[in-house]
């Protein structure tokens, strides 16, 4: 099933999504993306999809940074990604995960077939007017949409300086705003989880090359930007020991609102003892102190 998608009944008007521009710039730097981008903490994956095994559709899965954490939690994951170069890496590293080369605007699954739809570092690229109804279509009653972004912790001075060099990659104060205003989803919950990525002189170059704004530069400009960041690392890094780059995994989740819901949009009550894949969660990480260090 890894190379063949099941039959689909996409929403009317669904498209193949954006084929050019920043959203599709990552295929040319797929290996750098896989080596340089941070993963996601287990606690964040558990908050997004729950700890009781359920059926998860990951949309815009990239090279599988979050996919592995979802699989490790015991979930039945189907991963979709419109970029074939990114998808090849996911298939190589997670050969048992069913995959589909498809965009968020045209999902290759039947109606009401999954418990959770999750998107990691990708929701901002979607055509929300088309993707959100399509996501709602494949969710079962009581199912959730879950989103996550890794954002650097710019409270630390050297992290702010690094962000100024390569772009912070942040997506605003409310990256889930389209879900908040969508008639297809209810109240949006939010949680954040602190974690660190160890980067060295090589992997920080991959991190820079994997940024969409850098990937779109011509080769001389890209080489100059990488050289600028390497010089920064030589000033602030710790040689072979690398540097600890702090992140917050910003997570959001919301329950689908079915068209066949009762009065006032209420969901049908689940029978007593029914499993809720989102109920059993792990600490949101707010009780963990972050060590703020300026390496200068």
- pLDDT of 262-273, one tens digit each? 444 444 444 344
Cα 90 to the center of its chain, rounded Å: 14
Residue in the block written with tokens 């590293």: 93
Share the mean pLDDT of the chain: 80
Q: Which two tokens stand for residue 17?
A: 């999504």
pLDDT at position 163: 87
pLDDT computed for residue 216 by the predictor: 75
Higher pLDDT, 259 or 97: 97
CA pair distance 83, 106, nearest whole angstrom:
14
Q: Is the dihedral of CA 45, 66, 249, 173 positive or negative?
A: negative
The angle subtended at Cα 164 by Cα 43 and Cα 290, nearest 5°, is: 30
Instruction: Give percent of the chain with pLDDT exceeding 70.
Output: 74
CB 139 within 8 A of CB 15: no
The average pLDDT across 171-183 equals 89
Average pLDDT over residues 8-18: 35
Rounded-to-integer distance, Cα 98 and Cα 78, Å? 5
Q: What is the number of residues in the chain?
A: 296
Lowest-confidence range among 2-6, 65-69, 82-86, 198-202? 2-6
Looking at residue 81, its pLDDT comes to 96
Task: State residue 44 phi and psi, 5-degree precision.
Answer: -65, -45
Average pLDDT over residues 64-92: 97
Burial of 168 (0-12, 13-18, 19+ CB in 10 A): middle
Give CA–CA dist 37/181, Å, rounded: 30
Predicted local confidence at residue 26, as pLDDT:
54
Higher model confidence: residue 83 or residue 275? Answer: 83
């Amino acid at each position: 099933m890894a190379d063949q998608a099941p039959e689909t009944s996409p929403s009317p008007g669904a498209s193949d999504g954006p084929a050019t521009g920043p959203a599709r710039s990552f295929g040319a730097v797929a290996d750098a993306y896989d080596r340089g981008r941070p993963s996601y903490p287990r606690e964040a994956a558990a908050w997004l999809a729950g700890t009781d095994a359920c059926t998860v559709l990951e949309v815009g899965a990239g090279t599988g940074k979050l996919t592995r954490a979802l699989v490790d939690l015991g979930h039945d994951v189907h991963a979709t990604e419109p970029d074939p170069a990114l998808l090849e890496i996911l298939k190589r590293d997670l050969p048992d995960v069913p995959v589909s080369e498809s965009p968020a605007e045209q999902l290759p699954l039947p109606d009401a077939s999954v418990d959770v739809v999750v998107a990691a570092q990708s929701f901002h690229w979607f055509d929300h007017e088309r993707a959100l109804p399509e996501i709602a279509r494949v969710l079962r009653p009581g199912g959730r949409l879950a989103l996550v972004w890794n954002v650097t912790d710019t409270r630390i001075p050297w992290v702010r300086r690094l962000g100024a060099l390569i772009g912070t990659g942040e997506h605003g104060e409310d990256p889930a705003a389209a879900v908040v205003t969508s008639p297809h989803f209810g109240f949006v919950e939010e949680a954040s989880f602190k974690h660190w990525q160890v980067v060295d002189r090589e992997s920080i170059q991959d991190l820079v090359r994997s940024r969409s704004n850098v990937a779109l530069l011509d080769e001389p400009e890209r080489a100059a930007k990488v050289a600028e960041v390497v010089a920064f690392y030589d000033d602030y890094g710790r040689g072979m020991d690398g540097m600890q780059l702090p992140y917050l995994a910003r997570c959001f989740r919301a329950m689908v609102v079915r068209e066949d819901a009762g009065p006032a949009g209420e969901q049908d009550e689940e029978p007593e003892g029914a499993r809720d894949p989102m109920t059993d969660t792990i600490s949101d990480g707010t009780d963990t102190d972050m060590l703020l260090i300026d390496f200068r």
